[in-house]
Amino acid sequence: MMRSLFPSVFLVLTLVISSMVGNTAMAASSSDMAQTTASSVTRAAPQNSFSHGEIQEINRLAAKVTIKHGELKNLDMPAMTMVFRVKEPSMLERLKVGDQVSFIAEQIGGHLAVVAIEPMK
């Protein structure tokens, strides 16, 4: 009984912890450092590279933003206008329609979410 339960509990914990770690930029950069020692090939792949776009619409209640974006290399997506969720609603506070932005979108739990976004100057 205990022996069969334990591995799945451990798996869930691992998933929770890894998703928490993924939230912080610091964790990402430290894992980058770990990878550099592994091989220089993994360094060559642009991970979480910023994409460019223009804000078309902001839905603060739904925590969604419509972005007319250029090519998203990390998602292998061509330029288009589409709706993204944002990871944190507070990310929308500094944005307004018409802003040129740099942003990072990632596939999270089956949908695309903006995990970082900032107006371009």
CA 25 to CA 2: how far, in whole Å? 37
Of 35 and 68, CB closest to Cu ion:
68
CB 109 within 8 A of CB 89: no
What phi and psi, each to the nearest 5 degrees, are found at residue 24? -105, 135
- Window 63-102: residues binding Cu ion (CB under 5 A): 77, 80, 82
Nearer to Cu ion (CB atom), residue 18 or residue 48: 48
Task: Identify whether the C-beta of residue 92 lies closer than 8 Å to the C-beta of residue 65.
Answer: yes
Q: Is residue 108 close enough to count as binding Cu ion by CB under 5 A?
A: no
CB of 119 to Cu ion, least distance (A): 19
Residue 114 in tokens: 């903006």
Provide the minimum distance between the beta carbon of 94 and Cu ion in the complex, in angstroms, as a whole number.
Answer: 22
Comparing CB distances to Cu ion, the nearer of 82 and 116 is 82
Between the two ends of the chain, the Cα-to-Cα distance in Å is 59
Cα-based distances in Å from 47 to 10, 19, 64, 108: 28, 17, 23, 15
Closest approach of Cu ion to the CB of residue 89, in Å: 21
Q: Which is nearer to Cu ion, 35 or 50 (CB)?
A: 50
Q: How far is the CB of 66 from Cu ion (least distance, A)?
A: 10
Residues that bind Cu ion (CB under 5 A): 77, 80, 82
